[in-house]
Amino acid sequence: MRKSRRYRRTGLLQDPEDQNPLTGVANLFDVAMVFSVALLVALVMSYHLPELLDPDEDITIVKNPGAQDMKIIIKDKGQPIEVLNMTDNIGGGSGEALGTAYRLADGRVIYVPESEEKGNETSG
């Protein structure tokens, strides 16, 4: 019996796991990973963007509308997410005016083609 008590006292001090100060680091890493995942979920929920995670929902987001750094984020069903950045380049090229569009008081838009009286008439 006396031998087992001595082993018990010295066995705790000679156990390599109890002497290693880095044994708690693995647990701290696990806690940090759980905290970071919870933080990411909280950020997504706080911006009210869980729709981005739903594969069956179409969504279009305009960030900073009218600003120099405006972005349009488009997510269509079955398509990859597309990000359109605002640039200073204006679309241009050669072409011709086809007509004029008017917005009515009730919100409808009407397109009126230009008259072809300028010599572009086709006879049929």
The long-range contacts involving 75-80, CB below 8 angstroms and separated by at least 24 positions, are 75/51
What's the rounded Cα separation, in Å, for the pair 52 and 64?
18
Per domain, the residue ranges of the chain are 1-48, 55-90
Residue 38: what pLDDT?
Answer: 96
Structure tokens belonging to residue 75? 């997510």
Residue 113: what pLDDT?
Answer: 87
pLDDT tens for the chain, residues 1 to 124 = 555 555 555 555 565 556 677 777 778 889 999 999 999 989 888 877 777 777 778 888 888 888 888 898 888 887 888 888 887 776 667 778 788 999 999 989 898 988 765 544 444 3
Whole-prediction pTM = 0.37
User: What are phi and psi for residue 103, nearest 5 degrees?
Assistant: -100, 125
